[in-house]
Copies of this chain bind each other. A is one copy, B any other.
Amino acid sequence: MVQIPKTPAPASSAPRSVPTSADVARLAGVSRATVSYVLNNTGAVRISEPTRRRVHEAARELGYVPHAAARSLRAGHSRTVLMPAPAFPVGPLYSRFIGELQWALGRLDYTVVQYGTTGPHGDEAARAWAELRPVAVLVPGSLGPRGVEILRRSGARAVVTFGPEPVEGAHALLMDHETVGHRAARHLHDRGRRRIGVVMPEEDGLEVFSAPRLEGARRAVDGTDATVTGLPLAYEERSAARLAARWRSLGLDAVFAYNDEYAMLLMRALQDEGVAVPAETALIGADDLMLGRLLRPRLSTVRLELPSGRDLAALVDRAVHDPGATPERHEVLGATVVHRESS
């Protein structure tokens, strides 16, 4: 573990106070109003060129930077889009989506702010977010209807949730993870498999996804002679080895491994145990990560597709312009089976 030593605090030097628009005005020999006009390029008022120059000069010299809080206080609104950091461990897919979204919202002149979700959950968290008076809030995962109400009452013109369930009063980008499990199980069933295992990660924060996926798998084989069995698995070699050791006693001929990473973990363990993939047990993952293509046999997978950041940005912008509109519901999680060699 890398240690950063703690040093004692010596006497601090007096910090030069931060320059305000009044300071700029003083230095330029004009009024604060003029400074504001010049720096914001206000169209309605025309300021003489020499004055403009003096103001810009003064601002540069002082290193003046406007105070966002003061500005939005006066304006009565901000262009801050707040997005709580997700509670679940994020993969490359989601990271890319977030990046795209931030970029797109930036183009629309919003300031995207990710709020570090440290302590409280539920309404408590919503209140903390509301203090920042964001114009819109994008919530990965879910949120109670009371949370939505708190945010709206505090001036948020759009609340968008991004999870499995719609919430009263908020726009919803629905990610139906049941479909993922459904697709996987149906694929395995189509390939002639009948006793299907579904990996359930033991890691925290993943039940939100794994439970619906299991449910979807169940639904897929409903009314057939096939069975679906949940298989708890921690993301460690030992856990996988234990599962593999009792594999034959489980009598499964296929497994949906939650995602590609768990699939890789399990595939190794099964192969080490002498279980042939796919001959003895078919295996399918999800996410279509690069690593699946690199395994031998190449891993079948369910490719997930998140909406484009641009589309979500557009939704936000629309909602901000028309806060009263009825909440939109969009099914956004594309799920398609990519058949390779492991199934």
Contact = CB atoms under 8 A, between A and B. Distances in A.
Interface of A: 1-4, 6-16, 18-19, 63, 65-70, 72-73, 78, 85, 89-90, 92, 95, 99, 102-103, 105-108, 111-119, 127, 130-133, 149-150, 152-155, 157, 173, 235, 237, 261, 264-265, 268, 290-291, 293-294, 296, 305-308, 311-312, 314-315, 317-318, 321-325, 328, 330, 332-334
A334 B3 CA distance: 10
A13 B328 CA distance: 16
A35 to B, nearest CB: 16
A76 B315 CA distance: 36
A113 B113 contact: yes
Contacts of A102: 85, 116-118
A12 B322 contact: yes
Given A68-B131, A113-B115, A116-B112, A63 B322 contact: no
Please tell me how many copies of the chain the complex holds: 2
Given A2-B305, A10-B322, A65 B18 contact: no
A68 B324 contact: no
A18 B153 contact: yes
Nearest to A325: B10
A328 B4 CA distance: 10
Max chain B C-beta neighbours (<10 A), residue from A63, A90, A265: A63
Given A69-B69, A111-B116, A113-B115, 10 more contacts: A11-B324, A12-B325, A15-B323, A63-B154, A67-B73, A69-B72, A105-B116, A106-B119, A112-B116, A261-B291
Contacts of A114: 85, 113-116
A321 B7 contact: yes
A130 B95 contact: no
A150 B19 CA distance: 11
B2 A306 contact: yes
A316 to B, nearest CB: 11
A66 B128 CA distance: 9
Contacts of A154: 18, 63, 65
A119 B107 CA distance: 8
Contacts of A318: 6-7, 9
Contacts of A107: 2, 4, 118
Given A15-B324, A19-B153, A318-B9, A112 B106 contact: no
B73 A70 contact: yes
Nearest to A68: B131
A10 B8 CA distance: 56
Contacts of A133: 18, 67-69
